[in-house]
Chains A and B, each alone.
Chain A
């Protein structure tokens, strides 16, 4: 089971680098979507011994939300805005790749010093989560197009979701649901606002959004 876990998480981390490296928004969106799907499958792996219907339900919901709904919305927004590329980012692609890689390594390194439970000590679970969160931040800080920032936010959420799976045994299902719901709605609302901004400014370049300052 540990191997499947590591495999999935490893792939997800790979998609981090893809997300950091690409300048094409469609690729970015897909990368994030696939990452979401991969992570969405994790509960099945983790709780393989005690599968029950609501676990499956959660998995389906997650996969549906992260893999289908959100990418669809973002793609729509992107089409509406008629942009396919992130030009002149705040942090260039090479630097962000390097930062991402460094972050991943750091994550793995730090994990050694963290007091972990045996079942989490061996595998990529914790470092993966950290790497995703760092990647999310790099995207949020480094990109200037609204869509890429949303993607960054998604990666961040993925990372936290992964971290959340540490507690999957203990947190009640209701809470899981609530959190999931919130996240989805949140992204949904963000999508709407993105759309509105696109209409108001007819661009998604957040560098245009600096009217409000001292």
Chain B
């Protein structure tokens, strides 16, 4: 059954790659078939908790293919199918032939290729083929990011992404080779027995961490997400970086862990969560804001995972299980609301042609649907009840709090709780800003004023996503049940334990709360209608001629919090003040640099290029010195032999 479904998944994608260039409609159909079949297969595995295994009868690169779809991969496969399918729907209007005659056909092929390769990454259980799928996935992503090929920014972002991801891949080369060398086989599976393998986890953390956008390694993420077409940003942020998470989760479950692995994960998690959201808050580019928010959410995921690793070490199934369940649910949640938000940002970009928040505003009037859906996404990503975002963080929090309450050695997670709270509050600030600046108030530029609502094909995916999100919020129990099965795969020894998550009560409370909120809003509207309203100008303390530029801008909104992170953000201001009588135009330009990239990676690159220049000087074209090199070569090797041999 599952085999058949996955067969359909693969075949229809291959077909989609072939026909995609010429037949958009057929391509769309094939992609939906893919999504449905894949989703069905994943759900079957999740519900029955029976992993699906398949051994190929032939050699591929000297190894027999071995596919495995177990709970963990199924969970991520759900995301792939969901966002893959909805994104295809969205792209059909967003990146259509009509707007992008040159790149749209390629875009369709690469999209299907990306979906396929990610599916393979999730199912390959042979190190060689995993690397294979992994690299294919990285390349497809590159070609999608640089889809708009004449845009220099996009090309630069794409190369940065490619370079970073290749660095990660090299670490994975080393990891899988070492694994194969030590275990004697390329096949992947639990290897807890060999304690000697523990150090390999650091390679995993680096290799997959780059893709996951873990804080110091996130350098490629903002520019790539910002400059890619929005449906690509959506799948990159919602699914692609989850592949990195998948790697970390997968191998933290299979490898023997180093003693301090849990703490390191927590540390990176806290860094990503807090600093990521700090960067997000400071951005003026809506898509960059969303990108950095992904860094934050990866941080939250890592905190949960780190706690679970600690739980394994201390043999504490209860909070371990709660945290891990929360982590998995958050993976799903982030996939949902982040793709929703990127779709929303995409339709804003589509309608106004700008990502710069200081040129947007008042869009709710012209695109009410986008505004509403985006707002729901914002509420969810800020982790506010009764939406799905809260449920996941709630479970992670419970894991942390129980760890604290137990006063065991794991009480050291206290800072993580505080960081998580701070990050949550900052996220709220960031999204209050995003929604407020982009959709509320008065339009700050002409394009923003004349924007038009996106079409149905772009609206439907967002609507579906919102539905699922609300469903998770109201019926957490329904979703936690399969996730517990996934947790049991990650840590089989926990199968029996009860995480003590009061999901039912929470669900009930959420339902009541939602009803109350709706009722409150509705009654208030009716009340107002009865009492009567009188339209008027916004009250600006008697100021007679308010203009849209008097509104609080995104920069000023973030001002206070940005001040706290000044040491990290180092915003660069170019201020042209009002001077003298008959003053000219005044303006403020503000740029938030990529601190890590420019201040940390930059110097390293400098060092290397210095070495490269040294080497370059070797090739000066003077023949007699070339012969001298030969002579020196003889001498050096001779000396070496003398030392080593005689």
Q: Are A206 and B620 in contact (CB under 8 A)?
A: no
Q: Are B621 and A210 in contact (CB under 8 A)?
A: yes
> Would you call A192 an interface residue if the criterion is a C-beta within 8 Å of the partner chain's C-beta atoms?
no
Q: Are A211 and B627 in contact (CB under 8 A)?
A: no
Q: Are B621 and A149 in contact (CB under 8 A)?
A: no
Stretch of A30-38, A120-128, A134-142 on the interface side: A134-142
Q: Are A141 and B622 in contact (CB under 8 A)?
A: no
Contact residues in B for A140 (Cβ distance below 8 Å): 624, 627
Contact residues in B for A144 (Cβ distance below 8 Å): 624
Contact residues in B for A213 (Cβ distance below 8 Å): 619-621
Q: A137-B631, A141-B631 are in contact. Are A209 and B619 (CB under 8 A)?
A: no
Contact residues in A for B641 (Cβ distance below 8 Å): none
Contact residues in B for A66 (Cβ distance below 8 Å): none
Contact residues in A for B625 (Cβ distance below 8 Å): 141
Q: A144-B624, A206-B623, A207-B622 are in contact. Are A214 and B631 (CB under 8 A)?
A: no
| 608-646 of chain B: CB within 8 A of chain A | 616, 619-625, 627-628, 631
Closest to A211 in B: B621
Tell me the bound Cα distance from A144 to B624 in angstroms: 7
**Choice from B616, B622, B623 contacting A214 with Cβ under 8 Å:** B616
Chain A 194-214 near chain B by CB (<8 Å), digits 1 or 0: 000000000000110111111
**Choice from A149, A211, A212, A214 contacting B624 with Cβ under 8 Å:** A149
Q: Are B627 and A137 in contact (CB under 8 A)?
A: yes
Chain B 23-64 near chain A by CB (<8 Å), digits 1 or 0: 000000000000000000000000000000000000000000
Tell me the bound Cα distance from A207 to B623 in angstroms: 8
Tell me the bound Cα distance from A11 to B470 in angstroms: 101
Tell me the bound Cα distance from A144 to B625 in angstroms: 10
Contact residues in A for B624 (Cβ distance below 8 Å): 90, 140-144, 149, 206
**Chain B, interface residues (CB within 8 Å), range:** 10 to 19
Q: Are A210 and B628 in contact (CB under 8 A)?
A: no
**Choice from B621, B628, B631 contacting A212 with Cβ under 8 Å:** B621
Tell me the bound Cα distance from A47 to B39 in angstroms: 88
Shortest Cβ distance from A89 into chain B, in angstroms?
9
Closest to A146 in B: B623
Q: Are B623 and A149 in contact (CB under 8 A)?
A: yes
For A, the interface residue count at a CB cutoff of 8 angstroms equals 16
Contact residues in A for B631 (Cβ distance below 8 Å): 137, 141
Q: Are A210 and B627 in contact (CB under 8 A)?
A: no
Chain A 113-131 near chain B by CB (<8 Å), digits 1 or 0: 0000000000000000000
Shortest Cβ distance from B548 into chain A, in angstroms?
55
Q: Are B621 and A209 in contact (CB under 8 A)?
A: yes
| 331-365 of chain B: CB within 8 A of chain A | none
Tell me the bound Cα distance from A214 to B627 in angstroms: 18
Q: Are A141 and B628 in contact (CB under 8 A)?
A: yes
Chain A 89-120 near chain B by CB (<8 Å), digits 1 or 0: 01000000000000000000000000000000
| 137-161 of chain A: CB within 8 A of chain B | 137, 140-144, 149
Tell me the bound Cα distance from A143 to B622 in angstroms: 11
Tell me the bound Cα distance from A103 to B631 in angstroms: 14
Closest to B613 in A: A214
The residue among A211, A212, A213 with the most chain B CB atoms within 10 A of its own CB is: A213
Q: Are A210 and B622 in contact (CB under 8 A)?
A: yes
Q: Are A209 and B623 in contact (CB under 8 A)?
A: yes
Closest to B623 in A: A206
Contact residues in B for A143 (Cβ distance below 8 Å): 624
Contact residues in B for A209 (Cβ distance below 8 Å): 621, 623
Closest to B622 in A: A210
Shortest Cβ distance from A171 into chain B, in angstroms?
23
| 29-50 of chain A: CB within 8 A of chain B | none
Tell me the bound Cα distance from A214 to B623 in angstroms: 14
The residue among B622, B623, B624, B631 with the most chain A CB atoms within 10 A of its own CB is: B624
Tell me the bound Cα distance from A149 to B621 in angstroms: 16
Tell me the bound Cα distance from A42 to B407 in angstroms: 94
Closest to A209 in B: B623
Contact residues in A for B623 (Cβ distance below 8 Å): 149, 206, 209
Chain B 358-376 near chain A by CB (<8 Å), digits 1 or 0: 0000000000000000000
Closest to B634 in A: A137
Closest to A91 in B: B624
Closest to B629 in A: A141
Closest to A134 in B: B631
Closest to A153 in B: B627
Shortest Cβ distance from B619 into chain A, in angstroms?
4
Shortest Cβ distance from A210 into chain B, in angstroms?
4
Tell me the bound Cα distance from A211 to B621 in angstroms: 7
Tell me the bound Cα distance from A212 to B621 in angstroms: 6
Tell me the bound Cα distance from A20 to B625 in angstroms: 18
| 166-214 of chain A: CB within 8 A of chain B | 206-207, 209-214
Chain B 200-214 near chain A by CB (<8 Å), digits 1 or 0: 000000000000000
Shortest Cβ distance from B514 into chain A, in angstroms?
68
| 542-573 of chain B: CB within 8 A of chain A | none
Contact residues in B for A90 (Cβ distance below 8 Å): 624
Q: Which 4 A-B pairs have the closest CB atoms?
A: A213-B621, A210-B621, A214-B619, A214-B616
What would 25 A/B residue contacts be, using CB atoms closer than 8 Å?
A: A90-B624, A137-B627, A137-B631, A140-B624, A140-B627, A141-B624, A141-B625, A141-B628, A141-B631, A142-B624, A143-B624, A144-B624, A206-B623, A206-B624, A207-B622, A209-B621, A209-B623, A210-B620, A210-B621, A211-B621, A213-B619, A213-B620, A214-B616, A214-B619, A214-B620
Q: Known pairs A141-B628, A207-B622, A211-B621. 16 more at Cβ < 8 A?
A: A137-B627, A140-B624, A140-B627, A141-B627, A141-B631, A142-B624, A144-B624, A149-B624, A206-B622, A206-B624, A209-B621, A210-B620, A210-B621, A210-B622, A213-B620, A213-B621
Binding site for A on B (CB under 8 A): 616, 619-625, 627-628, 631
